[in-house]
Each structure stands twice: as C-alpha cells, then as structure tokens.
C-alpha cells in the first residue's frame, strides 16, 4: 500500500506544470569589420558592447581558438571593478560568476552579473580585456571627435626609451628627446633633440634604472612641465608645454647625398612609400643608406614592394595561422632591380613593418643593419572590428615570422653593427650610425 501511495504521489507531481526557466542573456550582435569611419552618433556603451568585444576576440584574434573564456572575463571584470572603485562608484555584490568554459554560457553568466552596466566602466573593461592579450598589435580605440583646427599636441614626437608602442623595458639612462616638430609648442619653448629629461611635473623619469611608467600618462595631459638638461652646456631649466596646433608633416622621404652615398630617411611604410623611395634612388648613386630610425611601420604591401627593388624571387616573411599553417610573402618582382648596395639604419623605435623590412634585408643578405636592435613589436598585421558604440577593437589575425620562420616579435632584429645615438650626439649633430654606414659602403 505504501509503495502504491508513493507511486501515485510521484505521478501527481509529474503532472504539475513546472515554472519556466529564466531566459539566458541573448548573444550580442557580432562585431563588424571596419570598412569606413565609425558612425557619427552611435548609441552609448552597453553590456552588449562588452559582449561584442568578448566574442570578437574569440572569433577573430589569432589565438582566439586557444583562449580561455575565464581569462578574458577575468581581465574584463578586473578592469571594470577597478574603474568603479577609482570613481567611488563600486557596486555591492558584483562578483565574477563561476564559469564553465562554455563561451555562450559564460557570457550569459557575466552579463547577468553586470546587470545594466556602467558605460564608463564597460569601456575600461573592454580595454582591460584587450590589454590582457599582451599583444603589441591588439588595442581598443575610442574615436575622438575630429578637431576643428587639425592635429594638436606639444610637438615632441620622439624620445629615447621608446620601443614600438610604449616604453622600452630595456631602456637605460638618460631619457632624452629625439624629434621635435618645427614651429610646435615644444620647438617654440626651445626644446631640442638631445635635451635630457630629468623630470615631468616634478616627478623623476627614472625609478632606479627603470623608466617611470607614469611617463605615458603624464605626457598625454594637455599641459605639463619638463625639467630638461642641455648636454652641451649642462644647463638645467624647466619649461611648461601646452598642446597647440601642429603642422601635419608631409609624407615624403628625406633625400640627400653624402660622400657619394644616397641617404634616404623614411618615417613610415605608408601607402605609396615604396614608390617614393624607389623614385628617389633611380638615377642616383649605387650606394644607399636607408634610414629607418623612428619608423613606426605601416603596410606589409609597401615592404614587399620596396624589397623588390633589391631582390627578386625571395620569401620576405610568413603569415601563420593558429593551426601552424603559414603563407609566404614574396618580393614584388614587378619592380625593376636597382642594382644598388644597401645599408639599413635601425633603432628601438623601428617597429612592425619596419622590422619586417629589416629582417628580410638581413636574412636575404641584401645588406647589413647598423644602429641598434629594433623594437620587437611585430606580432602580426591587424584589422579593425567595429562595436555598436562606435569604438573599435584592433586584432591581428595571423602571426608574423621572418624569412627563416624566426620569431621577431618581442625579440627584435639585431644590428650587425652597434652604433647607438646618444644625447650628446643629437645635440652636436653627430651621427655614429650614418658614419659607420658610410664607412661600410665606401671602405
């Protein structure tokens, strides 16, 4: 009898309708490949925006298939909560939920924990998530409204201790200015290449023998003071710099002849750069110094085209997928060979495509590299992905390897002949790297 009653009770229970389960958070719309400028009036940043960035990294980043969702969401939540705490807006009970490794379920749990979300902190979360990739070609960009009067800044566009997109962890004292824009606020204040920076807003630039990471934030302020020492005289002075309008530099190589050698300085591998350099070399001396110091990179297409003026039928680099498959990049053999001898000058600010060119010149035996090791900031070519608030996630989809399939990212291209530039060299107009290049070509 007891068993019959229990069976009847169970049957009755099974006929009772169950309460509907809470709906899972809907997946956000996919990020879109950048094909033009962001919309002029996008909606505010939302939890869906963070979700877009999360799935965008998993779907389009080079190593997305191997990433753990817990790592991405940990970095996002860490940055989100830090931002709230810093602004005095922390939320009680906000925690990173338990995660399973299933990307859809993990995002649904994270979205539920965030609730409506804080737009400012959500942007910090996206930035933190992308920064957590530790990839020098991955970044998060929030477009700023275009200025009415063109570019603005202080005019200091180069300094020692810079390697690719940030501070050089291998930098050593002193920290000095290398490039100043003509007629800029810095130029008008008397700031000159070679000036040694001792402090910014009274804060020393060195902590022991390590560059102060606050430098990056300090020099991005609209106004700051710099304590400078002139290496030729030892004079120390403090100047105040305030952002002002800058003349946009013309994108053309600088060309001059020195001791029977054509010296060409190229600031970047921008569209058309290769043809500009090739035109500058045609009909000139058959000894060439290509100065790539301070060259921040640019288009891989320009690299293979310029290399085609010095070699044909050669592999210049490889672009490799996460599964290990690689596509070779070849010299552009439609470019006539110049038949010139080449020496390339590099420094720690030679990054990305600049390193792709330099490594090919070295590996293919086209010519020696003079100066210093390059930045080691060439993880791979990156593309932009648009989020629904008008911000952009920039992600490499492949990894760059050199012509011998060597990894250059984080390592850099070593110079065949070491010739670093010092503050005193800049201040007095001496150039040990160029002097060494001339001796190699004329010796």
| pLDDT tens by residue, 80-125 | 999 999 999 999 999 999 999 999 999 999 999 999 999 999 999 9
Question: Do residues 303 and 408 both lie within one domain?
Answer: yes
78 C-beta neighbours (distance < 10 Å), count: 16
Nearest alpha-carbon partner for 96 in 84, 82, 83, 109: 109
Cross-strand partners of 345: 291, 370
pLDDT of residue 145: 63
Position 3 scores a pLDDT of 38
- 25 pLDDT more than 80: no
- Residues 41 and 179 occupy one common structural domain: no
Classify residue 10: in a domain, yes or no: no
Domains contained in the chain, number: 3
Among 184, 210, 245, which residue terminates a domain?
245
In-domain check, residue 271: yes
Which residue in this structure is represented by tokens 């996206």?
126
* Structural domain includes residue 142: no
Higher-pLDDT residue of 250 and 271 is: 271
Residue 413 lies in a domain: yes
Question: CA-CA distance, 359 to 325, in Å (whole number)?
Answer: 21
End residue of a domain, out of 245, 272, 300: 245
- For the chain, the residue count is 443
Same domain (yes/no): 166, 222: yes
User: Six-digit token pair at 117?
Assistant: 């979300």
Of the given ranges (134-143, 199-208, 242-251, 278-287), which has the lowest mean pLDDT? 242-251
Q: Are residues 269 and 407 in the same domain?
A: yes
Q: Over the chain, what is the mean pLDDT?
A: 92
| Residue 5 pLDDT class (50, 70, 90 cuts) | very low
pLDDT the model gives residue 149: 60
So what's the pLDDT on residue 41?
Answer: 86
Residues 216 and 329 in one domain: no
The pLDDT of residue 348 is above 70: yes
Residue 217 lies in a domain: yes
Q: pTM higher than 0.75, yes or no?
A: yes
- Answer yes or no: are the C-beta atoms of 200 and 224 closer than 8 Å: yes
Residues 265 and 375 occupy one common structural domain: yes
Percentage of residues of the chain with pLDDT beyond 90: 85
Range of the domain at 429: 254-381+397-442
**Per-residue pLDDT tens digits for 124-148:** 999 999 999 999 999 999 987 655 5
158 lies in the same domain as 45: no
When pLDDT is averaged across residues 281-294 and rounded to a whole number, the result is 96
Could you give the dihedral angle defined by the CA atoms of residues 296, 300, 304 and 307, in that order, rounded to the nearest 10 degrees? 10
- Is the pLDDT at 53 greater than 90? The verdict is yes
The pLDDT assigned to 247 comes to: 86
pLDDT > 70: what percent of the chain? 93
Same domain for 109 and 53? yes
Q: Is residue 12 part of a domain?
A: no
Of 198, 225, 245, at which residue does a domain stop? 245
In a domain, 402, yes or no: yes
Q: What is the pLDDT of residue 11?
A: 38
**Which residues, at least 6 apart from 400, have a Cβ–Cβ distance to it below 8 Å?**
317, 318, 319, 320, 356, 378, 379, 380, 381, 408, 409
Residues 296 and 430 in one domain: yes
pLDDT at 443: 86
User: Which CATH number do you get for residue 422?
Assistant: 3.90.226.10
Q: Which of 149-153, 264-268, 319-323, 348-352 has the lowest mean pLDDT?
A: 149-153
């Amino acid at each position: 009898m007891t068993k019959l009653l229990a069976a009847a009770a169970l049957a009755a229970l099974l006929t009772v309708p169950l309460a509907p389960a809470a709906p899972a958070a809907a997946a956000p719309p996919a990020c879109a490949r950048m094909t033009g400028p962001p919309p002029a009036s996008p909606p505010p940043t939302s939890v869906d925006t963070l979700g877009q960035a999360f799935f965008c990294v998993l779907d389009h980043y080079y190593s997305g298939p191997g990433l753990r969702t817990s790592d991405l969401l940990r970095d996002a939540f860490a940055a989100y909560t830090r931002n709230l705490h810093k602004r005095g807006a922390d939320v009680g009970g906000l925690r990173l939920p338990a995660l399973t490794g299933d990307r859809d379920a993990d995002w649904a749990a994270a979205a539920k924990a965030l609730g409506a979300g804080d737009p400012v902190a959500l942007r910090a979360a996206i930035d933190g998530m992308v920064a957590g990739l530790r990839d020098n070609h991955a970044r998060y960009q929030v477009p700023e409204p275009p200025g009415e009067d063109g570019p603005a800044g202080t005019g200091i566009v180069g300094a020692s201790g810079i390697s690719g997109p940030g501070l050089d962890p291998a930098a050593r004292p002193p920290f000095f200015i290398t490039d100043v824009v003509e007629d800029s606020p810095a130029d008008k204040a008397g700031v000159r290449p070679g000036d040694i920076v001792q402090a910014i807003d009274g804060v020393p630039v060195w902590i022991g023998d390590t560059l102060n990471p606050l430098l990056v934030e300090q020099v991005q302020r609209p106004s700051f003071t710099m304590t400078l020492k002139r290496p030729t005289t030892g004079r120390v002075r403090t100047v105040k710099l305030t952002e002002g309008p800058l003349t946009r530099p013309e994108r053309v190589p600088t060309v001059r002849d020195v001791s029977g050698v054509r010296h060409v300085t190229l600031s970047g591998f921008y569209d058309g750069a290769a043809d500009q350099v090739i035109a500058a070399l045609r009909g000139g001396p058959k000894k060439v110094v290509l100065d790539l110091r301070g060259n921040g990179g640019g288009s891989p297409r320009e690299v293979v085209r310029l290399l085609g003026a010095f070699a044909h039928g050669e592999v210049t680099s490889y672009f490799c997928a996460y599964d290990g498959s690689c596509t070779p990049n070849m010299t552009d053999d439609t470019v006539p060979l110049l038949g010139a001898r080449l020496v390339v000058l590099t420094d720690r600010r030679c990054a990305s495509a600049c390193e792709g060119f330099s490594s090919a010149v070295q590996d293919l035996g086209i010519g020696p590299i003079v100066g210093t090791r390059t930045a080691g900031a060439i993880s791979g070519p990156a593309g932009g992905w648009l989020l629904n608030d008008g911000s952009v996630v920039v992600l490499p989809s492949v990894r760059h390897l050199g012509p011998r399939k060597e990894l250059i990212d984080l390592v850099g291209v070593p110079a065949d002949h070491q010739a670093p530039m010092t503050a005193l060299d800049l201040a007095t107009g001496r150039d040990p790297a160029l002097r060494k290049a001339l001796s190699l070509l004329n010796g």
